[in-house]
Every structure is written in C-alpha cells, then in structure tokens.
Amino acid sequence: MTMNYEAICAFLYREARFLDDQDWDNWLAMYDVNATYWVPAWDDNGELTEDPQTEISLIWYGRRAGLEDRVFRIRTERSSATIPDTRTTHLLSNVEVLEQGDTVIKTRHNFHTMSVRYNHIDHFCGTTFTTIDTSGATPVIKERKTVLKTDYIRHVVDVYQL
C-alpha cells in the first residue's frame, strides 16, 4: 500500500484522535504486535538516553503487549495515573516524511498535548519519530520514539499524554 503525504498525516492525526477519545481498541489496532514504543529520558548531563535496554527511559515497551497492559490498567482503574480520568487534546504539526520505501515510511512530527486532571492543565511537548509498515491491508506502527521536551513533569507521564 502506498501512502501520499495527506494519507500519512491523516494516519497520524487519527492516532491522536483515538487517544483523545479514549478509543483504546482502535488505538491499539494501529500498532503492530511487535511494535516498539520508546520515550527516552534526559540524563544528568542533558543528553537523551540512547539504549532502552541499558539506560533509563520514561516509557519503554518492546512489544504491543506492553501497550495492551497499559490500556488494561486504565480501563480497570488499576492505574493511579489515570484516576480520575485525564482529558487530553493532541496538537500535531510539522509532519515530515523522512524516508519512504516500498513498505516502510519514517516520519517526524512535533506535538503539544494538553492534559486536564484535577482542574489543572499540564502541557507536554516534543518530537515523535514513527515508523509505519504499509505491507499489510492497513498501515501499522512498527516503531514509535517520542522525545519529550517538557523538562518538568509533576506526576507520572502516560502514553495518552504523548
């Protein structure tokens, strides 16, 4: 399946909408079963960690099963980070196609997410790198790396805030 720039943007916007709408089943379906999801941390020298296997990460899942576990915890109120429910609005911009092959598309975009909980708005911003596999009937995310630029996080950050 080939995707033009507009279809790539629509795919990324749809993922953000699923997060904002808490449409967890459709959000998870956008990820391949072997997808990686990584949010590296900033080290004491202000450098991003480079290896999720040996260094601290804000979030690291080596397969979609990790995302499925997060969704299970959110749905069953076993996640203190989501009680009460957090409302989000994702804004995406500066979508770039970094590489496009026959079955793989690599993108980069900026994001700003407003997260409302306890009558307080948290702002999260950064850059997301996404690898999309287009070899199947529908495109799926194979890799997601989000560089969170927000330097003060007053509580646990979760997947729906990025």
Instruction: Name all domains of the chain by residue range, CATH numbers in brackets.
Output: 5-161 (3.10.450.50)
* Residue 81: per-residue pLDDT: 57
Q: Which segments of 19-160 are extended strands (E)?
A: 31-40, 57-61, 87-100, 104-117, 120-133, 140-148
* Residue 84: per-residue pLDDT: 55
10-residue averages of pLDDT along the chain (162 residues): 94 97 97 98 92 94 95 76 75 98 97 89 95 97 96 77 84
* Residue 75: per-residue pLDDT: 83
Identify whether 84 is preceded by a cis peptide bond (ω within 30 of 0).
yes
* Residue 128: per-residue pLDDT: 98
Strand partners, 110: 93, 127
| Residue 95 near residue 9 (C-beta atoms within 8 A) | yes
CA distance 17 to 12: 9
* Residue 83: per-residue pLDDT: 56
Give all strands of the β-sheet with 104-117 in edge-to-edge order.
Answer: 57-61, 31-40, 140-148, 120-133, 104-117, 87-100
